[in-house]
Amino acid sequence: MLGAHRFSPDGKFLAGVMVPTFDIWVLDVERGSRSRLTFSGAVRGMAWSPDGTRIAYGNVNGDIYWKLANGAGKDELMLRGDGVPVLVYDWSSDGRVLLLGKGVGGPVAPRSLYTFEVSGSAGGLAPLLQSRATGAVQFFPSGKDSPRWFAYSTNESGAADEVYVQAMPGQQPGKWQASTASGAAPHWRADGRELFYLTSDGTMTAVDVRTSPAFQLGVPRRLFKAPAAPPGNPSAAWDVSVDGKKFLFTAAIEGATDVPIEVTVNWQELLKTK
């Protein structure tokens, strides 16, 4: 069964953490072939480098590694952990920073967020958000610039999870609630002009994004009902293509021994039927 998965930056490959083995496999989308990338059996979250040549991942011991996406060479240690599991959520589009979740718990348990300088110049993890984030977390795609914002979901309101966007340290301070009636697992469109997320009833929702003259979010739009996610992995089991036109899900099917991938395309036509 495929757990968390991400398209490569060019959309030609798909990397995913297979459960229950917890290793990364890479699928060639065009050819349909797949290959195993890691063999440690302890992977917890992964992210592509912005040029698509490497994949960084965390493990149950808190270590962070990267490996060439084509499988060549050995796993290279980036940071030695302290025994607390660490998830790699995202790799900034300027290639300089990893976004991490750290903490013990299930796939939707709240975790503290940290950043890690890939160059190692900072010497370790820098706290970003403490004990609040649930599910997937992503940097805003800022191109060659340092990441300016990040999107995450949290249950800090005490009710259902909601999606927020928050400014990175060093940027003009700000925090915006993107969802209005529950939200989780935010994903940016590659150009940063839309933010997608899932509501508590599994509806894919989109919010328009403006960054000039100031950061601004539009009114959420319900797109379509997403396939049911596998038990225990509701928030990380989907991704969106670079052009924002294809959505890929790990779907739960009753009675099945495996959990297949389901791709939703032409979702704009689904809106016309509502």
Q: Is 272 helix (H, G, I), strand (E, B) or coil?
A: helix
Q: Cα–Cα distance between 12 and 242 in angstroms, integer?
A: 10
Start-to-end CA span in the chain (Å): 32
Rounded Cα distance between 244 and 258, Å, is: 27
Structure confidence at residue 258 (pLDDT)? 47
DSSP reduced 3-state for 142: coil
Residue 111's pLDDT band (boundaries 50, 70, 90)? Answer: confident
Average pLDDT over residues 4-30: 89
* pLDDT surpassing 90 at residue 234: no
- In the predicted structure, residue 188 carries a pLDDT above the cut 90: yes
- The rounded percent of the chain whose pLDDT value lies above 90 is 53
Residues 6 or more apart whose Cβ sits within 8 Å of residue 105: 111
Structure tokens at 75: 């796993």
The pLDDT tens digits for 36-95 are: 999 988 898 899 999 999 999 999 999 999 999 999 999 999 999 999 999 999 999 999
Mean pLDDT, range 100-110, rounded to an integer: 71
- Res 227: pLDDT: 83
pLDDT greater than 80 at residue 262: no
* pLDDT band with cut points at 50, 70 and 90 for residue 4: confident
Highest mean pLDDT among 8-22, 154-168, 212-226 belongs to: 212-226
The residue behind tokens 């009902």 is 225
Task: Evaluate if residue 259 carries a pLDDT over 70.
Answer: no
| Domains contained in the chain, CATH given | 2-272 (2.120.10.30)
Instruction: Judge whether 255 and 236 are in contact, CB under 8 Å.
Output: no
Q: How large is the average pLDDT for residues 84-113? A: 85
pLDDT on residue 246:
86
Count of beta carbons in the 10 Å neighbourhood of residue 74: 8
